């Protein structure tokens, strides 16, 4: 089984200049935890995940020192509103792993496991053509073994 057999080609994406508010809406309404970030030619330039958004709310070491070593996390929740005006390019993960459509599914799964990520973009000539998740891999393996025990 190869990646193109199980990849999702209807991928929700964002551009580097898309507001976080718009991307967060896409994630919440579509029940997805991240989106690939592409340029005008669908070239993959990054990924923006819920983790990237939340990580930007955590206080930096200087803030922790200013707060006396004990950050007020409840007060930092208000920072979420300020974060919504930032752009995807401000907080996205730039160094993005991707897989090819012709890669064996288990090899793609091993990359996700090693990198501790739950989804990985599928690219061909640096252009986004799909996405697969750990759940997609598990479901495909389950179905294949259920049908052909």
Task: Give which of 98, 82, 85, 84 is closest to 37, Cα–Cα.
Answer: 98
132-143 pLDDT, tens digit per residue, is: 999 999 999 888
d(CA 136, CA 118): 10
Do residues 47 and 121 make contact, with C-beta atoms less than 8 angstroms apart?
A: yes
Confidence of residue 96 (pLDDT cuts 50, 70, 90): confident
pTM: 0.81
Report the alpha-carbon angle 24-53-122, nearest 5. Answer: 75
60-86 pLDDT, tens digit per residue, is: 556 655 666 666 666 666 666 777 889
Domains of the chain with CATH codes: 3-147 (3.10.580.10)
Do residues 50 and 119 make contact, with C-beta atoms less than 8 angstroms apart?
A: no
Would you state the pLDDT for residue 58? 64
């Amino acid at each position: 089984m190869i990646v193109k057999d199980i990849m999702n080609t209807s991928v929700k994406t964002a551009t580097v200049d898309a507001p976080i508010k718009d991307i967060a809406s896409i994630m919440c309404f579509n029940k997805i935890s991240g989106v690939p970030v592409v340029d005008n030619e669908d070239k993959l330039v990054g990924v923006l995940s819920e983790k990237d958004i939340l990580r930007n709310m955590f206080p930096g070491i200087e803030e922790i020192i200013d707060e006396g070593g004990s950050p007020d996390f409840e007060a930092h929740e208000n920072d979420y509103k300020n974060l919504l005006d930032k752009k995807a390019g401000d907080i996205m993960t730039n160094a993005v792993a991707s897989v090819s459509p012709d890669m064996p599914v288990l090899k793609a799964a091993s990359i996700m496991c090693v990198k501790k990520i739950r989804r990985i973009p599928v690219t061909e000539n640096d252009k986004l053509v799909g996405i697969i998740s750990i759940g997609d891999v598990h479901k495909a393996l389950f179905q294949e073994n259920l049908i052909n025990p």
